[in-house]
Amino acid sequence: MTNQNVVVQAITVAAVANSPPLFTYPPPRTSGSSAAAAIPKKYLSPVDLGGGWTNGWLEAIKASSPTHAKSALLSAPAVESEQDEQSTWIMRHPSALSKFEQITSATKGKQIVMFLDYDGTLSPIVDDPDSAFMSDTMRAAVKKVARLFPTAIVSGRCRSRVYEFVRLTELYYAGSHGMDIKVPKGTRYTKKKKAVLFQPASEFLPLMNEIHKALLETTRSIPGAKVENNKFCVSVHFRCVDETCWGVLVEQVVSLLKSHPELRLTQGRKVLEIRPTIKWDKGKALEFLLKSLGFADNKNVVPIYIGDDHTDEDAFKVLRDRGQGIGILVSEYPKDTNASYSLKEPYEVMEFLLHLVEWKRHSLKARSEE
């Protein structure tokens, strides 16, 4: 056993010993009039895994659907109109494009480190998760960014699958919500002679494979359900499932987890995800990558994290708690978030990345002419 494996195993054991409860709190249904009041609690107590929790999760996934959220706002006697709510939210989380000069002013003379989610950020959300391809123009933009700044992809997807989509060797990849991280050897920012592979949930791999097979079998009767094995995370996609079947699907997932207290259920965009209960997430992955790059305690480093999902909030929160870094949420609709800025869709993400490239090139040129 290598020294690295010893360290990883020790972290895994310690994390499991201090693991949180089974279920992460799903997003609450709100009118959107008070973002501060709607910030969710981090964990639910796993006291009751019966119909109560099933109904709670069903209501949560309905509330998180843009069409449901919109209809709820229109039908409820809301104090503010939908347009007013959008305007209020934009004031709190302005566009990273309209505030680009403000962002670059805060990063002038400092080292930017880029962190990018994949689905919904670099690629559009599609019905078939196997078809979530990024455009060639987006790939070119990310490649340009990576030439100027250390850049990492942090995704809930399996790391190897994300690499198949992105196909850029100059990036750092963190898959399975940061539970599978690879730092290449001998990069511009790391001088390590060997690649670093960090998998704090490695002992859960046999169980995750077992859960994947079980869910494939139990969800077979539900048209449109798709189960994806993301190595240290099993994702159950219901984007193509008729809403009348959502309750049955949730019940099947919850029922399976009753006998596995070492696993927890989280929710993304039209997806339920089963993960180990270790205290590791995208925020922890961000911190690990900063440390691997030698930037952990550097006050002249500005991490920029761009993501669209509920799971990206862990990274946004880390940046906010550090008081160092910029979180950018990708969303067309108002959401409770720890991010400081927003972008509406992947096209705007690409525009922001290209603006950043041009700004950096101009800065380098101006410096060379001094």
CATH number, domain with residue 211: 3.30.70.1020
Given a cut of 70, whether residue 32 has pLDDT beyond it is no
pLDDT of residue 162: 96
Q: Which of 84, 117, 308, 309 is catalytic?
A: 117
Residues 182 and 300 in one domain: yes
CA distances from residue 261 to 43, 49, 143, 333 in whole angstroms, order as listed: 14, 11, 41, 34
Better pLDDT: 65 or 15: 65
135 neighbors 166 (Cβ within 8 angstroms): no
Contacts of 271 (CB under 8 A, 6+ apart): 235, 236, 237, 238, 239
For the chain, the average pLDDT equals 82
pLDDT band at 122 (very low <50, low <70, confident <90, very high): very high
Given a cut of 70, whether residue 107 has pLDDT beyond it is yes
Q: Which domain holds residue 137?
A: 110-200+280-369
For residue 327, give the nearest of 350, 304, 356 by alpha carbon.
304
Residue with tokens 């060639």: 136
Q: How many domains does the chain have?
A: 2
Residues 315 and 365 in one domain: yes
Instruction: Establish if 213 belongs to a structural domain.
Output: yes
Residue range 94-121: average pLDDT?
Answer: 95
Given a cut of 50, whether residue 27 has pLDDT beyond it is no
- The two beta strands, 172-175 and 271-276, are unpaired
pLDDT of residue 294: 87
Residues 256 and 317 in one domain: no
Could you confirm whether 117 is annotated as catalytic? yes
pTM value is 0.79
pLDDT of residue 80: 52
Instruction: Establish if 230 belongs to a structural domain.
Output: yes
pLDDT of residue 184: 79
Residue with tokens 């590791």: 280
pLDDT band at 156 (very low <50, low <70, confident <90, very high): very high
- The rounded distance, in Å, linking the Cα atoms of 83 and 95 is 16
Instruction: Establish if 214 belongs to a structural domain.
Output: yes
